[in-house]
Structure 1
Amino acid sequence: MLSEVLIVASVGRAPRIECVGGLAGRRTDADTVHLISAAATPLGGDTISIRVVVEAGAVLRVRSAAATMAMPGTVTMESRATWDLEVHGHLDVDPQPTIVAGAARHVTSTRLALGEGGTVRVRERVQIGRSHERHGTWSGSMRADADATPVLRHRVELGAGSVTDDELASPRAYVSELRYPQAEFDGAGTMLQLAAGGCLATWQGDRL
């Protein structure tokens, strides 16, 4: 299944939302949109595509009504989700965690393009396995630019068979939070100030 969501935030009007497939968006406040599942997704073979545009002067908060459960499919174990964020105002993205269940493999990629005056907070939380499960794999990447200047190139793998899964450590949970242009904040884990502005906090452990 292919699920597509478009959210456009403009000054002085409610966010415009367009949805196709198993994911929908609902406005829950003047500047807040919650993503909700209209069908069981992502299963192996599914693709989710989310595009967010925040125009100059606009404010948008994106949340989710529940955790995202990535499940294996009958033909393939892999599902994919892409976030395409174009920000000229202020964007705050903080969905509920993604849980990779069974032997599923879920791949997430985020592209962030900040225009002049754009500010952003993006938090991502991932858990490999439900209770008593340690299988499953997640791969996530983020590419962020501000006024065409590279801000961040970041990629993480987590779970069974990943590069972080070895005799010394086998983390099954991950949290990352990117803020721009804010240089620091009270975040979990390791804080990295970015050369082009902004900062990234990352944490890994066994359970969220």
Structure 2
Amino acid sequence: MLSEVLLVAAPSRLPRIDCRGGIQARCTAPDTVHLVSAAATPLGGDTIEIRVVVERGARLRLRSAAATLALPGARTPTSDTSWQVDVAGALDVDLQPTVVAGAARHLSTVAMNVHAEGRVRFCERVQIGRSGERAGFWSGTLHVDQRERPLLRHRVELGAGSLADDDLGAPRATVSELRYPTTAFAIDSSFAIDSSQRPTVLALAGGGALRTWQGERLTG
């Protein structure tokens, strides 16, 4: 199944929403949109394409109604999600976790362009396996350009078959949060991690910062 979501935020009006396939979007406040699953997706073979445009002077908060569960399909275990993001205003993306269950494989790519006055918070949470499961694979790629010049190139693999896979102690959960142009991060419960394992903060040369964490399980 191919699911397509287009969100366009412009100043002084509600966001434009256009959806096809198993993912729908609902405007829940003047500047807030929630993604909602209308079908069981992603299954192996499914593709989710999300396009987000935030125009200058506009604000958009993007949330989800529930966690995303990636499951293997009958013919292939692999599904994928791709984001195309263009920000000239203020964008805050904070979705519920992606849980990669069983023998599923899920690939995530985010390509973002931030304009001169753009402001971004983009938070992604991933858990390999449901309760009692350690199988599953996730790959995440985050490419961010600042006015079409490279700002960040970041890639993480997690789970069975990843470069860091180890049955004895490899992490099975990760959280990453990009902020631009600010470099400050508040310590709050929304990051959903074990407080005994401190996240790593990487300041970016072009402004902004990336905070990452890996551990056994998300806490919330």
TM, length-normalised to structure 1:
0.98
Aligned Cα RMSD in Å?
Answer: 1.0
d(CA) in 2 for partners of 1:55, 1:186: 27
Match of 2:117 in 1: 117
CA shift for structure 1 position 183: 1.8
Aligned-pair distance for 1:168? 6.7
Q: Within 5 A, what are the aligned runs for 1:47-196? A: 47-166=47-166, 169-186=169-186, 189-196=199-206
Number of aligned residue pairs: give it. 208
Paired with 1:137 and 1:62, the residues of 2 have a C-alpha distance of 25
* Match of residue 210, structure 2, among 195, 200, 207: 200
Residue in 2 aligned with 1:20? 20
Work out the percentage of aligned pairs sharing the same amino acid.
62
- Residue-by-residue CA offset, 1:140-171 (whole Å, 9 max, x unaligned): 00000111121100000000110111367310
Q: For structure 1, list consecutive stretches of 5 or more residues without a partner in the other structure.
A: none
2:139 and 2:216 map into 1 onto residues whose CA distance is: 16
Distance 1:124 1:4 in 2: 19
Runs of 4+ in 1 over 6 A off after TM superposition: none
Contact 1:97 1:127 in 2 (8 A): yes
1:72-109 Cα offsets, whole Å, 9 max, x none, are 00000000000111000000000000000010000000
Q: Amino acid of the residue matched to residue 143 of structure 1?
A: H
> TM-score, normalization: structure 2?
0.93
Segment of structure 1 superposing worse, 185-194 or 174-183: 185-194
Segments of 5+ residues of structure 2 without an aligned counterpart are 188-197
What does the per-residue CA deviation read over 1:24-55, in whole Å, with 9 as the maximum and x for residues that have no partner?
00000010000000100000000000000000
**Alignment partners' CA distance in 2, 1:42 and 1:131:** 19
